[in-house]
Structure 1
Amino acid sequence: MKEKSIGLLELSSVATGFRAADTMLKGGDVRLLLSRSICSGKYMVLIGGDPASVEAAIAAGAEAANGFLIDRTVIANIQPEVLEAIGRAQVPQPNGALGVLESFSVTALIRAADTVAKAANVTLLELRLAMALGGKAYCTLAGDVASVDAAVKAGALVLAEAGVLVDAVVLPRPHPDVYREVV
């Protein structure tokens, strides 16, 4: 992943999601990373590029949303493992504690995952975004107990401040079968 920054729009209309994606891509030097409908009839558009281009594209997409904008974010200097963990089909070998952050918002969860990756020496295992989750999102992470605890607390704070925290859990020594269920 060569993008230094990412931007995400979360919309309450699928049709408007297509319009916003088109507007963002035509308006700047950005790359479409993910564009799809998500549960509860929402739509998400994830773009990447240099910080100024991403900011401009997200602003244009938000304007094109015509009242259907749920949330938006731009994250400069995104941790590469955040994007690698989105929809990961094969989880890296788990070790140590397991942390789980759950959010009512896809956008806020991506912000929290970036905070998690920057807060402590942990491995992001997976980011699950709204599919078969009723529009919610969650991420899983692993590492030593102290690091997972610190990272989960940092991510939970981001979600709580946004008013979208569902739950945050740290399992210090999860049963091996629990790790098998991460994917």
Structure 2
Amino acid sequence: MSDTAGHFDPAIGLLEFDSIVAGIVAGDAMAKSSPVASLYAGTIHPGRYLVLVGGDTAAVEIALESGGVDTVVDSLFLADVHPAVVAAITTTDLTALIDGDAVGIVETATVAATIVAADAGVKSADVSVPAIRLADELGGKAYCLFSGTVADVEAAIEAAEQSLEHREAPIGTRVIPQLHADMRRNLANELRFDKRLRAGAT
């Protein structure tokens, strides 16, 4: 886990806007309203804007309230986010991605939904969260991976699906027992296909 991860303890909040203008205005209001430990903001595909804050629970709540609801596509507030979720969001080290007998995948239409699903899954079963990928180069979609025994990954996927019952349904979920070694290497090297393609061509 990077040093950045500690800045998201114990709570995180996220607002996902379909207007860049609204997102920048909201990010500024959130930064001015509350002493959050961290605030990251920027554009994602397809023309959306994310503001992610972390730190003290009360500070994160205040920041989210200050961000408003204008053009918000989705949002989340996790008062006790699991450290594995923060690590998966902030890590750049993919060398030890998959370490279990099975892999579970949850794909959603928004960043907020994937983070919520990842948090629910890792809290419900003895799984790791090797990676969470958020919208860039994914057309606005996001996804997370779980790793562990088949039974634990199945339990994590079930909890993730339940966490999304009051949101837009996940685009897809799947459990893959005994992931093939070639796919394991591809996932461990780089999850984004275009970067894998460029790397293989050099």
Please state which band the TM-score falls in when normalised by the shorter chain.
over 0.9
- 5 Å-filtered alignment, 1:42-61, equals 42-61=48-67
Q: 1:69 corresponds to which residue?
A: 72
Q: Which residue of 2 aligns with 1:116?
A: 121
Deviations 1:23-72 (A, max 9, x none): 1111011033431101011011110111111111101012xx5x211122
Residue 108 of structure 1: how far off its partner (Å): 1.2
Give the structure 2 partner of residue 18 of structure 1: 24
The answer to whether structure 1 residue 88 and structure 2 residue 94 are counterparts is no
Q: CA 1:24–1:52 in structure 2 vs 1: closer, same or farther (change >3 Å)?
A: same
Aligned to 1:176: 181
What is the deviation of 1:80? 1.1
Shift of 1:160: 4.1
TM-score by length of 1: 0.92
Mapped partners of 1:9, 1:108: distance in 2 = 11
Count residues in correspondence.
180
Q: Deviations over 1:89-129 (max 9, x none)?
A: 32225221011000001111111111011011111011000
Please report how far the alpha carbon of residue 173 of structure 1 lies from its aligned counterpart in structure 2 after TM superposition: 1.0
The 8 Å contact of residues 106 and 143 in structure 2, kept in 1 or not, is answered as yes
- 1:11–1:43 CA contact under 8 A, matched in 2: yes
Give runs of ≥4 in structure 1 deviating > 6 Å.
none
Which whole-Å CA distance do the structure 2 matches of 1:114 and 1:19 have between them?
28
Q: Which residue does 2:198 correspond to in 1?
A: none
- The structure richer in strand per residue is 1
Q: Is the 8 A contact 1:8 1:72 kept in 2?
A: yes
Find out whether 1:148 has 2:147 as its counterpart. no
Equivalent position amino acid for 2:59 in 1: S
Query: Kindly, what percent of the aligned residue pairs are identical?
Result: 37
CA displacement at 1:87 relative to structure 2: 5.4
Question: 2:90 & 2:183 partners in 1: Cα distance?
Answer: 18
Q: In the alignment, is the contact (CA less than 8 A) between 2:97 and 2:131 conserved in 1?
A: no
In the aligned structure 1, how far is the partner of 2:109 from the partner of 2:54? 23
Q: CA deviation at 1:172?
A: 1.1
Structure 2, gaps ≥5 residues long: 1-5, 192-202
Q: In structure 1, how many angstroms separate the alpha carbons of the residues matched to 2:27 and 2:169?
A: 25
Corresponding residue number in structure 1 for 2:47:
41
Report the 3-state secondary structure (helix = DSSP H, G, I; strand = E; otherwise coil) of the residue aligned with 2:74: strand
Does residue 158 (structure 1) correspond to residue 163 (structure 2)? The answer is yes
Matched-pair contact (CA < 8 Å) for 1:87–1:126: no
Instruction: Please report the RMSD computed on the Cα atoms of aligned residues, expressed in angstroms.
Output: 1.5
